[in-house]
Structure 1
């Protein structure tokens, strides 16, 4: 996955319905972090979230994308070249508006926001996707009649042990824990952790110690600190911390909707992207991983940061700014955790960025 000049690769998802290129492949300069577009494809409608896997033989690389449509779908693409090439057909996820996906247990799972469900699709040896063979329907609602009238699964991801799959549901103010059936791949419900009503949990990020997790809430700009017991498959909320200063959330302040949380490789910092406030929050984490404190916020380098990603080295953050149509990159001060913007790439309707 390296280009001829030694640069790494990044993949940018975007909303084709809002003028985005679809999936963009970019070279990443290892010294400066700068992105340079290599190619793009619009073969997948609204590929708002991406995950990288392997397949198609030795050295093959496969990119998986949701198609955030109604009804929703998922796609597999060969990204060994500069222009992604579809592998097989789009596969329906038997749900609406998939917003996230992950690989677990040799299968692809999607979180379907519109229908409040998680879908499991088989992955073939060549990386292509088969028809959905399992759908787990969430149930419940929350106090916000507009946003929480029913379940809205926003993220699905495996825990660091690989034994559990967690799905974060904005509509039910909860995180569900499931095991995957070894034979069928079906998610087997194990437990559900209720969070404070009305917070609207969106995304979860694990601490590198594997024993703590941080749930970023969309409907209230806070992060919920949790203990994670991988042996028992139990998530326990132990605290909640604002991700914005008081003056940004008081009367007269513009509404803000946090979107993504990222934890530093050394476990000392947590960063959160905030749409509306158009910022990146820097939170310090104590040695136990159970106390988070807001240090500062900096500009996201654009408008409406839908996604935030750390590069493989852990030295730079990248913000996918949907409404300003760009991906901005930042050098992270290793002592303070504060990001400093270094550059930006035009990327219309950008929704996520991931790295090879």
Structure 2
């Protein structure tokens, strides 16, 4: 296996290009300057789309060299909201969706039409809001749109501020949306952050940032609607009982063999690894173990395209960590660590 190149989005004005060797060593290749806080990266063909979370912008780069991760800035537009935090393409590939969290201003989800050069344009953009609030005194005064994701022709919008998941029809002709029935409500004060869909089963999973839980839903493929099945805690009991600790789940992903679901615990500094129980319709998830992240405030993690390695980005300790993954028994072995990567918050491989 040759070296693999990946990019690291950050909380500063840089994108790092790194190399993952065949033995799991992480090496820094170069650094590209960008707007403030490139906390979400989305590649498509030879283009890279990123949010500038602190500038309320979306930037488009060309990927000039995939082996070295070299980039050139081509376009910058307003995100049409405050604190953009997630990007996705609609199924037609004609629109770019952004979730604007709204940390200090307007929260919404907006669609930008792509021009002939596949760059998003502000003209013709369609902006939508989620109404409501939640019980948390400082994190739920209003809508905080955290994730907008297309799945099987439907749009799912996860809103931390209103404790809701909204399912929409999307019109790729004009960029307009229509809500399907009622919003799905999580537990009050849960603070849903991200949603993920199982690759082969009609199941959806949502990690909740404010109460450290994960929800499981059954997906109706004919309507896109979600049926609630289960809620499970992400924390160990000892951590939950420690009043000095605060915890905020951030990301969730499946292992490459689809046997386990992982959720990052920012604060407890670990990944909770859930078993996926195929034969238990009411308890889809059960806790297998908690994996020490070798750092602080894990914002994001991902597996390499070969499925052999797990990479973890620790935001506050400024380091990347690599574990090997053993598919035979579902275990992890610490391999390497790269320090002095400032505020790492997202990662994408260029050879996926």
Paired with 2:18 and 2:115, the residues of 1 have a C-alpha distance of: 27
Paired with 2:195 and 2:332, the residues of 1 have a C-alpha distance of: 21
Alignment partner of 2:161 out of 143, 153, 171? 171
Measured after TM superposition, the shift of residue 308 of structure 1 is 1.5
Matched, 1:332 2:319: no
Paired with 2:179 and 2:7, the residues of 1 have a C-alpha distance of: 32
Matched, 1:95 2:92: no
Matched, 1:47 2:38: yes
Measured after TM superposition, the shift of residue 189 of structure 1 is 2.3
Following superposition of structure 1 onto structure 2, how do residues 221-260 of structure 1 map, counting pairs within 5 Å? 221-260=212-251
* Counterpart contact for 1:206–1:263, Cα < 8 Å: no
Measured after TM superposition, the shift of residue 251 of structure 1 is 4.7
Alignment partner of 2:196 out of 187, 192, 205? 205
Paired with 1:140 and 1:336, the residues of 2 have a C-alpha distance of: 45
Alignment partner of 1:348 out of 323, 342, 348? 342
1:184 maps to 174
Paired with 2:321 and 2:280, the residues of 1 have a C-alpha distance of: 28
TM-score (norm 2): 0.91
| Structure 2 unmatched runs, 5+ | none
The ranges of structure 1 where at least 4 consecutive aligned residues each deviate by more than 6 angstroms after the TM superposition are none
Show CA shifts across 1:191-236 (max 9, x none).
4211111111111111122410110111111110111112211012
2:16 maps to 24
Paired with 1:154 and 1:26, the residues of 2 have a C-alpha distance of: 27
Paired with 1:340 and 1:157, the residues of 2 have a C-alpha distance of: 32
Name the Cα RMSD after superposition: 1.8
Measured after TM superposition, the shift of residue 185 of structure 1 is 2.1
Alignment partner of 2:70 out of 83, 107, 123? 83
Measured after TM superposition, the shift of residue 129 of structure 1 is 1.9
| Structure 1 unmatched runs, 5+ | 55-60
Show CA shifts across 1:67-87 (max 9, x none).
1025x1111111132321112
Paired with 2:38 and 2:237, the residues of 1 have a C-alpha distance of: 35
* Counterpart contact for 1:165–1:178, Cα < 8 Å: yes
Alignment partner of 1:68 out of 53, 67, 77? 53
* Counterpart contact for 2:256–2:303, Cα < 8 Å: no
* Counterpart contact for 2:257–2:327, Cα < 8 Å: no
Change (3 A) 1:336 1:173: farther
Change (3 A) 1:138 1:243: same
* Counterpart contact for 1:247–1:253, Cα < 8 Å: no
Measured after TM superposition, the shift of residue 289 of structure 1 is 7.8
Paired with 1:153 and 1:224, the residues of 2 have a C-alpha distance of: 18
- Give secondary structure in 2 for the equivalent of 1:145: coil
- Give secondary structure in 2 for the equivalent of 1:176: strand
Paired with 1:208 and 1:75, the residues of 2 have a C-alpha distance of: 29
Paired with 1:122 and 1:36, the residues of 2 have a C-alpha distance of: 37
- Give secondary structure in 1 for the equivalent of 2:238: helix
